Amino acid sequence: MTTQDVFFYVFSLLTLVCGALVVLNPFSRNPVTSAMFLVLTIVSMAGLFVLLHAFFLAAVQILVYAGAVMVLFLFVIMLLDIKEEQRRRIKTFGLVAGGASVAAIVGIFAYSLFQSKLGPASPAPLVAGATRPLGELLFSRYLLPFEMLSILLLVAMVGVILLSKKDLK
């Protein structure tokens, strides 16, 4: 039981609890609350990334998700000025069916995980988790997808501008 393991347990617990609170908050139905817990989830996930030596991704996670995406969420929530969600009658059928589907997937995952013989508990020979090799990979082997992503972002940007115009035709 090393320090890393302790951190793993701390971060994963934090991730799961916050994730649960995003989805099922017994105290508040306000989307803002959910958004805040989502921020927490993402930050603790970044901690897990650090534990996995993915420092660059951890940074990106915080910058893009916790920074940009969540700001966007909050911005939209405020733009729409959504009141606290009124408590509607929960449909038992939906809940049961949803629960059943989730349970089925969890069961299958658990079964396959239990069946599989994964490698040693210790990490494989360490690859330098630094940013440099990742960058080299991105700009050599994955150059084409990378460039395509840039185009995707451009398209998304244009699309969003068009969609948010007031008189949408």
Q: Which of 3, 27, 166, 169 binds another protein (CB under 8 A)?
A: 166
Nearer to another protein, 26 or 138 (CB): 138
Query: How many angstroms from the chain centroid is the CA of residue 78?
Result: 22
Q: Indicate whether 147 belongs to the interface with another protein (CB under 8 A).
A: no
Kindly state the smallest distance separating residue 55's Cβ from another protein, in Å. 10
Q: Indicate whether 124 belongs to the interface with another protein (CB under 8 A).
A: yes
Q: Which of 1, 3, 27, 92 binds another protein (CB under 8 A)?
A: 1
Q: Which of 2, 3, 26, 43 binds another protein (CB under 8 A)?
A: 2
Residues numbered 53-92 forming contacts with another protein, rule: CB under 8 A: 53-54, 56-57, 60-61, 64-65, 68-69, 72-73, 76-77, 79-80, 82, 85, 88
Q: Which of 27, 47, 125, 169 binds another protein (CB under 8 A)?
A: 125
Q: 3-state secondary structure string, the chain? A: CCHHHHHHHHHHHHHHHHHHHHHCCCCCCCHHHHHHHHHHHHHHHHHHHHHCCCHHHHHHHHHHHHHHHHHHHHHHHHHHCCCCCCCCCCCHHHHHHHHHHHHHHHHHHHHHHHHCCCCCCCCCCCCCCCHHHHHHHHHHCCHHHHHHHHHHHHHHHHHHHHHCCCCCC
Residues numbered 87-116 forming contacts with another protein, rule: CB under 8 A: 88, 94-95, 97-99, 101-102, 104-106, 108-113
